[in-house]
Chains A and B, each alone.
Chain A
């Protein structure tokens, strides 16, 4: 292998940081230059990821493009990167969504430089999680992504809105949302941090491939507890951290707030990629490190997932704020991801597990596309109307027909219409989960029904019904830059709906090796 291939992952991982540092030295007043530079900077990891995609051997087992360098030798943690089919799909998703999100934020004119730098740093944080093969490095990237997101919400979030706190203090809504996001996530990952420390003390290493072997086969007594009990506690520490990130009911309450207050591009990345970090944590860490516990508690996790699916759909239907509606739809859709994970954990070693897990990873990818698309479209409408209140729209279809068509298309993909991407993955999850979690799956169908209801409610309240006269003559049709953001997403949704094989081919081999 040549030098370039050997260090391809490092190149992908750090190219956004390098681009961010370049931005640091550009003049702050040149807003156009900064935007274009950030966009080009985010195209570099995309180009490199495409190279990675084509050089990746889908038929090989195990991790590819592995790199290992000394990092923290005193505690045996090394900078170990590598990808398999699952992480490759996620890297591709991140690399696709970031340039689009940056393009979507060309309308930002307040402190463009800081905004773009944070965005690029965020991309490195996300990519790092998907590439890490070292538990400590995983945690480093998992946490570091919080910082840019916190500031994106806190500084560039919606400027209006207030929240009354417990105790009567009134704070700006974006302050409340960003604080909640940060402290919730940090609080939940505290257990993860402690469990990682414990694993480090017990195993003496943080290297994942090594832990897959040594940690799972560990026996004896640790800290006065039987290893099975230690693992159960650590399992829940991991599970809660990732469940909050996904998020599943009842850990989801930070999500609607964060989404509602975040700037459009922030929401796109938050829903598109950040939520996937939690699901990816389940797949990369929880299932391989705690196969027995995951199998034992699969029912409980599936229950949470079903609650997320049902309540997510109901809550979404009940919203009058367009962005909150889409935010709750994320809870609903990510529920299927967790359902698939639970099914795979329960039936590991069978065909069902493989099908469910294929569906899960594909659903992660699909939800990334459709949620980013939906949040973008909500943002486009908000930019024009400065309201997100569904009751204030109505009958906009004739005023902005192109936008209307795009919104319907994206909504249908989100709803899971056959022929578009969402259908394939949800079908696979349900097909894989049905034989092993029949009751759960059956109940989740209620949620699926209401998915249709809230999606149609969103379309109806914005596009159909009597025209709200206020908007006549004031609405601009979607412009070229905005089309440039949404069209690639639509193309991918359609492509994955018609022929999911190109992506499943990569995912399937890895999933079969892990869960077959």
Chain B
């Protein structure tokens, strides 16, 4: 039997989290080192999976399958393809950097890292699950620790409210998705939760027409799709830094990815039917999210709403129903994950020192925190879709996909007037300029200009670990922007798989 590398990736954080709980709480340094060791180990394994994946062969690799509850057709079934291998890598990256920048947490670090790691197990599990039951199982594991992490370690002002709002939204979403998923289980008549088998189930169009919106929208809540997005900025803001990084960087991808994997891939005809609705909602996400981000005065809310806008682009690419759009969506999930992790890390470092996030009150931070400023600027350029950075590489094909979506071979259900899709792309492009203006405003106001007198002496330099985390994330963003071929062929091989299900390979 092959080395069960995916299972090790999934369960290392869980095991580490549980072991941490056994360490006496006062040994904080040991706890941190152990947490970092576990995160580094997981990152190395996920790098290995990423580079070990052979995109020339394609399909699912590193597959493991064991019967779990064979009577009900539930199995422990995991594997990666070109779409989720980058996301596994992303989770490894965010986990590692998240531990690095949480070094200074001194309020019960043991429990903090333990919950964070349980969360990571859930996230890894959803990304690699090939069994519908397993997917839900890990999904709930990912949502629950979030509640505790925000409610206990969050921003004192809104943490209870935000944690409650987030949990309720996500649970309701997942229950709705679960109904759809159970519908699939029974309607298929195959008696299995195996998603590879369900792909071939040939659900009737009538079934797909009602199951798709339940499954897709249910998961899309976590992806931040309008109008179900408003838990997300609130949650981002209330969460402690590392959790915000996880939350925006990885959890939102979880929603988009599950919506793709369960909604679109298992119910392709449903996706074709509902595509205009998703497209329209995603368009609102993209444009409205950008405008709302522009008027925020709280630094962290700006980033929170920018995530809504950028996750909208993922949905936008998926709704374009075209090869380039899918490739762009896959790239955008990774690019946005790294970018937003960088953003929240930077915001956290500024807040820890200035104790305010009101943009008008901040200023001149770059002088004391040059690394934070430079890496934040790099993230900002990614966010604007500046060519040469990963955001451009991801957004450009999304827009191209929407341009060409009207005549895409897999968009068979709707026969729009030919000018509709181009018009939608043009409207969405407004967000690029809006994003540029709010990013420039933040960079100028927060990092440059005069430093208010009350900050003198408080803006202490960041630790070497923080620098490592920031530079690591920024380097990925630049590398991917200059050499898109580091990731695009892999995503393309995953997209082939999706297109095959749509009958348009």
Contact = CB atoms under 8 A, between A and B. Distances in A.
A198 B403 contact: yes
A72 B432 contact: no
Given A154-B444, A183-B437, A194-B429, A74 B324 contact: yes
Interface string B435-449: 011001000100011
Given A71-B485, A75-B397, A193-B429, A143 B418 contact: no
- If over half of B's interface residues share one DSSP class (helix, strand or loop), that class is named, otherwise mixed; here it is helix
Interface stretch (A217-225, A259-267, A298-306, A410-418): A217-225
B392 interface: yes
Contacts of A175: 444, 449
A74 B488 contact: yes
Given A74-B327, A75-B397, A224-B417, A187 B433 contact: yes
B396 A75 contact: yes
Given A75-B400, A225-B419, A143 B387 contact: yes
A73 B485 contact: yes
A194 B399 contact: yes
B418 A222 contact: yes
A150 B327 CA distance: 32
Most buried by B among A147, A150, A175, A197: A197
B492 A74 contact: yes
A48 interface: no
Chain A, interface residues (CB within 8 Å), range: 35 or more
A150 B403 CA distance: 31
Contacts of A70: 485
A72 B485 contact: yes
Interface in B403-449: 403-404, 406, 417-419, 421-422, 425-426, 429-430, 432-433, 436-437, 440, 444, 448-449
A73 B489 CA distance: 8
Given A179-B444, A187-B433, A197-B425, A140 B488 contact: no
Interface in A57-83: 70-75
A147 B396 contact: no
B387 to A, nearest CB: 4
A144 B433 contact: no
Interface string B452-494: 0000000000000000000000000000000011001101100
A93 to B, nearest CB: 23
Interface in B374-405: 381, 384, 386-388, 392-393, 396-397, 399-400, 403-404
A181 to B, nearest CB: 11
Given A72-B488, A75-B324, A144-B387, A201 B400 contact: yes
A258 to B, nearest CB: 14
Interface in A197-237: 197-198, 200-201, 221-225
A69 B52 CA distance: 25
Interface in A123-177: 136, 139-144, 147, 150, 154-155, 175
B479 to A, nearest CB: 14
Contacts of A399: none
A390 interface: no
B494 to A, nearest CB: 12
Given A186-B436, A223-B419, A72 B444 contact: no
A40 interface: no
Contact of B386 (A147, A179, A183, A198): A147
Interface residues of B, number: 39
A182 interface: yes
A182 B381 contact: no
A448 interface: no
Interface in B322-347: 324, 327
A190 interface: yes
Contacts of A197: 396, 399-400, 403, 425
A106 B444 CA distance: 26
Contact of A144 (B327, B386, B419): B386
A73 B323 CA distance: 13
A72 B381 contact: no
A23 to B, nearest CB: 14
A183 B381 CA distance: 13
A164 B374 CA distance: 29
Contacts of A139: 387
A201 B440 CA distance: 31
Contacts of A183: 433, 436-437, 440
B419 to A, nearest CB: 5
Contact of B488 (A73, A186, A223): A73
Nearest to B327: A74
Contacts of B437: 179, 183
Contacts of B400: 75, 197, 200-201
Contacts of B327: 74-75
Contacts of A200: 400, 403
B75 to A, nearest CB: 34
Contacts of A201: 400, 403-404
A147 B392 CA distance: 14
B492 A198 contact: no
A150 B380 CA distance: 14
Nearest to B381: A147
A140 B436 contact: no
Contacts of A140: 387-388, 392
B422 A198 contact: yes
A70 B308 CA distance: 33
Nearest to B430: A190
Contacts of B388: 140, 143-144
A221 B417 CA distance: 12
A225 B423 CA distance: 13
B478 to A, nearest CB: 11
B440 A179 contact: yes
A144 B386 CA distance: 7
A18 to B, nearest CB: 14
A223 B418 contact: yes
Contacts of B492: 74
Interface string B145-185: 00000000000000000000000000000000000000000
Nearest to B405: A201
Contacts of A136: 396
B432 to A, nearest CB: 6
Nearest to A198: B403
B224 to A, nearest CB: 24
Nearest to A233: B422
A200 B404 CA distance: 9
A89 B22 CA distance: 71
B385 to A, nearest CB: 9
A284 B394 CA distance: 27
B436 A182 contact: yes
A188 to B, nearest CB: 10
A187 B431 CA distance: 11
A501 to B, nearest CB: 38
Interface string B309-329: 000000000000000100100
A132 B386 CA distance: 17
28 contacts: A71-B484, A74-B327, A74-B488, A74-B489, A74-B492, A75-B324, A139-B387, A141-B387, A143-B386, A143-B388, A144-B387, A147-B381, A147-B386, A179-B444, A183-B436, A183-B440, A190-B430, A190-B433, A193-B399, A193-B432, A194-B425, A198-B422, A200-B400, A200-B403, A201-B404, A221-B418, A223-B422, A224-B419
Interface of A: 70-75, 136, 139-144, 147, 150, 154-155, 175, 179, 182-183, 186-187, 190, 193-194, 197-198, 200-201, 221-225
Q: Which 10 A-B pairs have the closest CB atoms?
A: A224-B418, A140-B387, A201-B404, A201-B403, A224-B419, A144-B388, A223-B418, A143-B387, A72-B484, A197-B400
Given A140-B387, A197-B425, 10 more contacts: A72-B393, A73-B488, A74-B397, A75-B396, A136-B396, A150-B440, A154-B444, A190-B430, A194-B399, A200-B400
Interface of B: 324, 327, 381, 384, 386-388, 392-393, 396-397, 399-400, 403-404, 406, 417-419, 421-422, 425-426, 429-430, 432-433, 436-437, 440, 444, 448-449, 484-485, 488-489, 491-492
